[in-house]
Amino acid sequence: MENLKLGLICMTSISSQMIIEEAKKYFSQVDLIDIRKVEIMMNNKQTKVLYDGKELENYDCLYLKSSHRYAELMYGLTEIFKEDTFIPLQAQAHLLAHNKFLTHLTYAQNKILKMPDTYYAAKISETKNFLQTLNYPIILKFPSGTHGKGVIFSESSKSARSMVDALDVFKQPLIVQDYINIQSDIRVIVTGNKIAGSMRRIAAGGEIRANAHMGGNAEPYVVTSQIKEMCLEAAKRIGAKICAVDIIESDYGPLILEVNTSPGLQKITEVTKKNIAGEIAQYLFEETSKIKQSKDKLQSRDLMGQAGIEEIGERDFQIDLVVRNGKIVLPEFVTKMSSFRDEEEVTLKITDNKIEILKD
């Protein structure tokens, strides 16, 4: 196993702990970092990140997943560490995904990423005027609600207008959205270019929200090629290599509802019987290794120059061969430039004046 360090910056939920356990199979060090104990100190000379009062150590991989309350902090931490660390979510992903209005705005006019018709205004008075122009029922939503808690169903303009007045006490803008009459949604977990797992969630009787927190049930679901393409595109547009995408099926085809950069893993693991946390851990490890290897390659090129090793072609080098106790000893850069690992099974092809090492 390579010596790679993972830091998981999160709120220490059960899902995060599931990832930590799986990551221990791959990374040599895995740290659970409680985002609530993270501080950033900066001035014109330097930026320092503290964890529990001490400077945060360096990691090869940082995976940040937390609630919308810490979206700005996650944005900041990603910007600070992105040069030297593999981070599966771009800084902006935390702001975009934690706000359904910004998510929809990112996808607006995208040919693949269709959404229910969505409206958003700064002022409640504008929203109230708009409500009179709609066909009912409709959905009202808080942009950063989760677990179905910020989603409200309204059957008439009259009820919608009074709801909007009542909701004005929260002093938050509201999303108004077309209601899609199907009491289920599809939850898909994306890791890189793969779908790690997917399920169909069915709302409990009398409920329109399919979230498990709202008593919904779920069953395994195999994504169609269209939904797969949508989910990969949605993740890419938002800048998240790991995320969950919620999709609702309408008469006009599948529509995106939201992207979740900190999805719960218990339900989907139970329903799909797949090791989703394991898939995430493995993805983090593979990407981190790839980046580490290419960095090592660059570094070894520098070292080669310093050691006087001459490069005489794209991958040809002239060295003085070392044979010690009858064994050929190759310089370290040869190992680093290759992707060979210790104890890997290889085939040696040997002729009079040529040795080739091939991966099996």
Q: Which of residues 228-267 bind ligand ADP (CB under 6 A)?
A: 246, 248, 257-258
Tokens 């979510």 sit at which residue?
A: 89
Residue type, position 86, single letter: F
Nearer to ligand ADP, 87 or 265 (CB): 265
Which of residues 76, 88, 143, 148 is near ligand ADP by CB under 6 A? 148
Cα dihedral across residues 134, 140, 143, 147: positive or negative: negative
Tokens of 351: 């002729």
Please choose which of Mg ion, ligand ADP, none residue 146 contacts, taking the beta carbon within 5 to 8 angstroms, the exact cut-off set by kind. Answer: ligand ADP
Which of residues 12, 67, 92, 146 is near ligand ADP by CB under 6 A? 146
CA 133-138-141 angle, 5° bins: 110
Which of residues 32, 180, 204, 291 is near ligand ADP by CB under 6 A? 180
- Asked if 215 interacts with ligand ADP (CB under 6 A), we say no
Strand 151-154 to 175-178 pairing = unpaired
In whole angstroms, give the CA distance from residue 355 to residue 280: 39
Q: Which stretch binds ligand ADP (CB under 6 A): 52-60, 148-156, 237-245, 299-307?
A: 148-156
Tokens of 312: 């005489």
How many residues bind to ligand ADP according to rule CB under 6 A? Answer: 23
Q: Which uninterrupted H or E stretch holds 289? A: helix 276-306
Q: Which stretch binds ligand ADP (CB under 6 A): 71-79, 101-109, 201-209, 285-293?
A: 201-209
C-alpha neighbours within 13 Å on the C-beta side of residue 326:
0
List C-alpha distances in Å: 35 to 99, 226, 267, 359: 19, 36, 24, 42
Task: Output the furthest CA–CA distance in the chain (Å, rounded).
Answer: 91
Closest distance to ligand ADP from the beta carbon of 43 (Å) = 38
Which of residues 177, 191, 272, 300 is near ligand ADP by CB under 6 A? 177
- Asked if 195 interacts with ligand ADP (CB under 6 A), we say no
Residue nearest to ligand ADP (CB): 210
**Residues interacting with ligand ADP, by CB under 6 A?**
116, 139, 145-151, 177-180, 185, 203, 208-211, 246, 248, 257-258
